Amino acid sequence: MSRLVVISNRIADPRKPASGGLAVAVGQALEASGGLWFGWSGKIVEDGTPGEGDLHLQTAGNVQLATVDLSREDHDSYYLGYSNGVLWPVFHYRLDLADFDAGYIGGYRRVNHMFARKLANLLQPDDVIWVHDYHLMPLAAELRAMGCRQRMGFFLHIPLPPPLILAAVPEHDWLVRTLFAYDLVGLQSDADVAHFSRYVGTETSADILGEHEFRAFGKTLQVQAFPIGIDVDEFQALGQGRESQEMYAQMKGEYSRRRLLLGVERMDYSKGLPQRLKTFRHLLQTYPENVGSATLIQIAAPSRESVDAYAALRQELESLCGAINGNFGELDWMPVRYIHRNVARKRLPGLYRAASVALVTPLRDGMNLVAKEFVVAQDPDDPGVLVLSRFAGAAEQLAEALMVNPYDIARTAETIQRALQMPLDERQRRHQSLLTRVREQDVHWWRERFLNALANVPAP
């Protein structure tokens, strides 16, 4: 069995339990075959030399962890600049928020080159290499240039935008060309694969050999959808834990006479938070029976706060929440509880289970794991209702959710009202179908499908 080598911007120690579904899934795959996990150490060296960083090696069971430090300059241009200031907004269709500073690309290329250089020394000839996410798109091209011939796959966790949006990235043709250094590219949804196919059809001279097969730059590439799932057993076990049960009891106690609506995410402009608050305000205005009853708990964990667009979003949210609470609040009821913090993962299932309605309404999302976690956390006898944006990758799999266009505030409010009034038998029916799919297509299914497809790519 070949050794698996996983490369991602951040890595997690597979021995530590609370690191979340992806870390668990990748950790298990690495342990099964023995493996190497490579990425940034999280450390920034203030006066470090760009393109140079110390390599740290650590062993965790039969998994080797290899991490590299970043100089301040590399961190700011590769991570904050190009990855999160250019690729993240453009890939989420937010050209207005992209910061096309010509200086960033140098850092992005430099760090990818450095990662490849450090990694190449650690590779064995029959390793299988799996690279994750937008930070590291050109990594395989760098490795190939150094003579590495191993099987290489790439998985993009965020959406791939339509061709004319992707084309706004000044280096778009180079970026896509570097993808052809992989043997397999995995995307979250069929919509993303269709965008890739249209891009190569219009912007390159690639031959489209089949629905999932493309030939260009002397290389054949497979591109397929592999929708990521969650670790259902792990999340259900968390739900049985003391912290989660306490959370549930506390919420049920506090809100015994009220209906709880819940949003949980990183604070990010892709998640549609201002639209969600405006929708909630519209719900209170249009359906006054919710005044004094419906309460929105919005958890928005701090994220990338040194990128400008995030600070502006935070201000907007604080002012919207303040206005809604000021206009509608009563002495014994605040319509919005806005919490700008992380909730401990062990408590999350209890919070989800106490909610009557989950609002998962991103403007664009590669997948969205919160939607799947909410489904798994519900009591099947009395489940809450998932209101889901059609623009989340998860919408392709979770058709029994109540689907909304989050830009359409009036109709989304109407749909939330429908969710609040949904009869028990309909809630049970929808939940049963959703749970079956989330369970069948879990994170292990995702990982196995990807790694099988990579193993079965015909040799060049």
Q: In a 3-state reduction of DSSP, which class is residue 266? A: strand
Residue 299 touching ligand ADQ (CB under 6 A): yes
Should residue 348 be labelled a site residue for ligand ADQ when binding is judged by CB under 6 A?
yes
Quote the least distance from Cβ 76 to ligand ADQ, whole Å.
21
> Looking at 141, 165, 169, 228, which residue binds ligand ADQ (CB under 6 A)?
228
Which part of the chain contacts ligand ADQ (CB under 6 A), choosing from 113-121, 176-184, 245-253, 343-351?
343-351
Let me know if 231 is exposed, middle or buried by CB neighbors in 10 A (0-12, 13-18, 19+).
Answer: buried
User: Is residue 28 a contact residue for ligand ADQ (CB under 6 A)?
Assistant: no
The least distance separating ligand ADQ from the CB of residue 423, rounded to whole angstroms, comes to: 29
Q: Taking CB under 6 A as the criterion, which residues in 121-180 touch ligand ADQ?
A: 157-158
Size of the site for ligand ADQ (CB under 6 A): 20
Q: Does 265 bind ligand ADQ (CB under 6 A)?
A: yes
3-state secondary structure of 201: helix
Site stretch for ligand ADQ (CB under 6 A), options 53-61, 254-262, 319-327, 340-348: 340-348
Residue 192 engages ligand ADQ in binding (rule: CB under 6 A): no
Give the CA radius of gyration of the chain. 23
- Examine residue 43 and tell whether it contacts ligand ADQ (CB under 6 A): no
- Minimal CA–CA distance to 187: which of 200, 178, 197, 174? 197
Choosing from 157, 183, 192, 268, which is the catalytic residue? 157
Residue 445 CB, shortest distance to ligand ADQ, in Å, is 14
Among 68, 90, 358, 367, binds ligand ADQ (CB under 6 A): 367
Nearer residue to ligand ADQ within complex by CB, 70 or 264: 264
Task: For ligand ADQ, give the closer residue by CB, 142 or 373.
Answer: 373
Distance CA 71, CA 49 (A): 6
Say if residues 67 and 55 touch (Cβ distance below 8 Å): yes
Residue linked to tokens 């060309």: 177
| b/e burial code for range 197-220 (CB count within 10 A of at least 16 → b) | bebbeeeeebeeeeebebebeebb
**Does 301 interact with ligand ADQ (rule: CB under 6 A)?**
yes
CB 14 within 8 A of CB 140: no
Provide the 10 A C-beta neighbour count for residue 400. Answer: 19
Which residue stretch of 56-64, 339-347, 412-420, 421-429 sits at the interface with ligand ADQ (rule: CB under 6 A)? 339-347
- Segment interacting with ligand ADQ (CB under 6 A) among 142-150, 170-178, 260-268, 413-421: 260-268
- Could you say whether residue 377 binds ligand ADQ (CB under 6 A)? no
Instruction: Let me know: does 361 contact 341? Beta carbons within 8 Å.
Output: no
Give me the least distance between CB of 437 and ligand ADQ, in Å please.
Answer: 15
Write the CA distances from 233 to 377, 390, 397, 442, integer angstroms: 11, 27, 19, 9
8, 67, 368, 389: residue in contact with ligand ADQ (rule CB under 6 A): 368
Does residue 365 touch ligand ADQ according to CB under 6 A?
yes
Q: Point out the catalytic residue in the list 74, 365, 431, 442.
A: 365
157 belongs to the catalytic site: yes
Of 359, 189, 362, the closest CA to residue 270 belongs to: 362
Look up residue 249 and give its amino acid: A
47 has catalytic annotation: no
User: For ligand ADQ, which is the closer residue by CB, 212 or 266?
Assistant: 266
Pick from 435, 265, 438: nearest CA to 360: 265
**With contact defined as beta carbons under 8 Å apart, do 3 and 126 qualify?**
yes
Please identify, using beta-carbon distances, which residue of 219 and 266 lies nearer to ligand ADQ: 266
Burial class, 452, CB count within 10 angstroms (exposed 0-12 / middle 13-18 / buried 19+)? exposed
In the complex, the smallest distance separating the C-beta of residue 338 from ligand ADQ, rounded to whole angstroms, is 11
Instruction: Write each residue from 7 to 26 as x if it is in contact with ligand ADQ (CB under 6 A), else as -, in one continuous string.
Output: -------------x------
Residue 126 near residue 2 (C-beta atoms within 8 A): yes
264 binds ligand ADQ (CB under 6 A): yes
Give how far Cα 254 sits from Cα of 246, 290, 389, Å: 12, 17, 29
Instruction: Tell me which residues are annotated as active site.
Output: 157, 365
Contacts with ligand ADQ, residue ranges (CB under 6 A)? 20, 157-158, 228, 264-266, 299, 301, 342-343, 345, 348, 365-370, 373
